[in-house]
Amino acid sequence: MINKKVANVTEAMQGVKDDMTLMLGGFGLCGIPENAINNLVQMNVKGLTCISNNAGVDDFGLGLLLHKRQIKKMISSYVGENDEFERQMLSGELDVELVPQGTLVERCRAAQSGFPAFFTPAGYGTEVAEGKEVREFNGKMYVLEKAFEADFAFVKAWKGDAAGNLIFKGTARNFNPAMCGAAKITVAEVEELVPVGSLDPNQIHIPGIFIQRIFQGKDYEKRIEQLTVRKKL
Amino acid sequence: MLDKTGIAKRIAKEVKDGYYVNLGIGIPTLVANYVRDDIEVEFQSENGVLGMGPFPFEGEEDADLINAGKQTITTLPGASFFDSSMSFAMIRGKHVDLTILGAMEVSEEGDIANWKIPGKMVKGMGGAMDLVASAENIIVAMMHTNKAGESKLLKKCSLPLTGVGCVKKIVTNLAVLEITKDGFKLLERAPGISVEEIIKATEGKLIVEGDIPEMTL
């Protein structure tokens, strides 16, 4: 077993510097690497380029980094729930690259899998395709999209072991698996760090080879963005 | 005239037995409430769930279980979870049978705009560009006119496009229309709405052939 376990979040964040490009898992506030984000706030690193499907809300998730002006550029598919984000974007303080969601995840997966680029139909004929190579296959038009290049990927899983194996829960899986191994260093935080050998190899979602550092996360808030319920009759 | 619920009810009639369906945010989300219960349908949400169920009972919500609108949900027997890459493999690979989404504008050629108002509102496209670029069966749910009373069914979209030539059918508060190579073809009128009112509210080319029936919900 090759040990990936580090003592805590501080150790896991070693090497993160100003002006780096970071990938952060999660969809909305679901499955976000809360410990890593909170630590980035404390480290006060600046000039970051963040690749993440969303930008958090005003006072949680990546919204915390936006609030402190630590982010120079966001690469996301949907940023609708964050007033501060919209303000910084419309005023030009924040550089934003909006990417179709399927393209966003595939640009992560391409980096993870060793593909420099791929063709997708998403965005053809729209401003997303401007300046990009387009090509026809079987009578349909496709846009060439490139793999991301990132310094760190921060992902969050439900369970993991010191070998770096990960299991996700529910829809908290989302962008996390595709970001594992898609950056120079992948840091996984888990709700439960379990003894090596206790996870069933049949059930592993991400093998440890994609992970460089893993740590037991703490104090998960797991905030719900839109609480929708029905009454018991 | 239909309200949002009425639009959802009418679209629910387009959902057929054995369909995998992706519902967008807003009116489309309501469609799930009105699908006939004697057919088997599975709802896909692009954040990574197939077999989505209703909202949870109070106190049973799970932060790790949401839909693409970030609302807490439940799953039904037979449901599955997957990552975003596989989710868009389902969408891009044409495994989803029906896509229902909202729009700000639709053109008579089936172009759709729903993600950006330059200088004013930029929420992003989310999964909409992937959905409209690949889905073969797209229904748009929207109001026929905007808050200023201007038509949203246009000759050409004025807002940045989400996709080109992709919309097949539109259900509005006033009508059901099909996109044909010649323009918007009027199929049904909303209860109490006349053909003249629909003509007046449609800027793009509208084709009216014969008697237009009133829709049933």
pLDDT for the residue numbered B217 = 86
pLDDT for the residue numbered B42 = 97
pLDDT for the residue numbered A7 = 97
A232 lies in some domain: no
Longest dimension (CA), chain A: 56
Confidence of residue B53 (pLDDT cuts 50, 70, 90): very high
Q: What is the pLDDT of residues B165-204, one digit of tens each?
A: 999 999 999 999 999 999 999 999 999 999 999 999 999 9
Side chain identity at B95, as an amino acid letter?
H
pLDDT at residue A81 tops 80: no
pLDDT for the residue numbered A26 = 98
pLDDT for the residue numbered A85 = 87
Residue with the larger pLDDT of the pair B89 and A87: B89
Distance from CA of A198 to the nearest CA of B (A): 22
Task: Give the residue carrying structure tokens 């420099």.
Answer: A116
Q: Are A174 and B48 a contacting pair, CB within 8 Å?
A: yes
Q: HSE on the CB side for A111, CA within 13 Å?
A: 26
pLDDT at residue A233 tops 80: no
Distance CA A150, CA A21 (A): 5
A78 lies in some domain: yes
Give mean pLDDT, residues A213-223.
97
* Interface contact flag, A122 B133, Cβ < 8 Å: yes
* Interface contact flag, A27 B48, Cβ < 8 Å: yes
Best CA proximity match to B80, nearest among B56, B52, B100: B52
Q: What is the pLDDT of residues B58-68, one digit of tens each?
A: 999 999 999 99
A193 lies in some domain: yes
Side chain identity at A115, as an amino acid letter?
F
Give mean pLDDT, residues A34-47.
98
pLDDT for the residue numbered A87 = 87
pLDDT for the residue numbered B123 = 87
A51 lies in some domain: yes
- What DSSP line would sit under A70-89, residue for residue? -EEEEEES--TT-HHHHHHH
Please give the share of chain A, as a percent, with pLDDT higher than 90. Answer: 93
pLDDT for the residue numbered B91 = 96
* Interface contact flag, A173 B127, Cβ < 8 Å: no
Domain B4-207, second-level architecture: 3-Layer(aba) Sandwich (3.40)
Distance from CA of A11 to the nearest CA of B (A): 27
- As a dihedral over the C-alpha atoms of residue A172, residue A178, residue A179, residue A180, rounded to 10 degrees, the angle is 100
Interface with chain A: mutation pick from B25, B47, B90, B121, highest number of A CBs within 10 Å = B47
A87 lies in some domain: yes
A228 lies in some domain: no
Write out the two tokens for B96. 């989803």
Q: What is the pLDDT of residues A143-196, one digit of tens each?
A: 999 999 999 999 999 999 999 999 999 999 999 999 999 999 999 999 999 999
- What pTM did the predictor assign? 0.96
Enumerate the domain spans of chain B.
Answer: 4-207
* Interface contact flag, A79 B69, Cβ < 8 Å: no
Query: Structurally, how many domains does chain A consist of?
Result: 1
Annotated active-site positions of B, please? 46
Give mean pLDDT, residues A25-49.
98
Rounded to 10 deg, the angle between the B84-92 and A101-113 helix axes is: 120
pLDDT for the residue numbered A89 = 87
pLDDT for the residue numbered B121 = 79
Other beta carbons less than 10 A from residue A130's beta carbon: 8
pLDDT for the residue numbered B39 = 96
* Interface contact flag, A171 B46, Cβ < 8 Å: no
A124 lies in some domain: no
- Classify each residue of A4-23 as buried b or exposed e, where b means 16 or more C-beta atoms within 10 Å of its C-beta: bbbeebeebbeebeeebbbb
Write out the two tokens for A231. 């009454």
Side chain identity at B18, as an amino acid letter?
G
Collapsed DSSP state (helix, strand, coil) of residue B172 = coil
pLDDT at residue B150 tops 90: yes
Residue A159 belongs to domain spanning? 9-117+148-216
Q: Are B7 and B28 a contacting pair, CB within 8 Å?
A: no
pLDDT for the residue numbered A219 = 97
A226 lies in some domain: no
pLDDT at residue B90 tops 80: yes
Give me chain A's average pLDDT, please: 96
The question of ipTM being above 0.90 is answered as: yes
- Residue A105, domain CATH: 3.40.1080.10
**Residues of B in Cβ contact (< 8 Å) with A171:** 45, 47-49, 64-67, 81
pLDDT at residue B153 tops 80: yes
Interface with chain A: mutation pick from B45, B75, B84, B166, highest number of A CBs within 10 Å = B84
Please give the share of chain B, as a percent, with pLDDT higher than 90. Answer: 94
Q: What is the pLDDT of residues A54-67, one digit of tens each?
A: 999 999 999 999 99
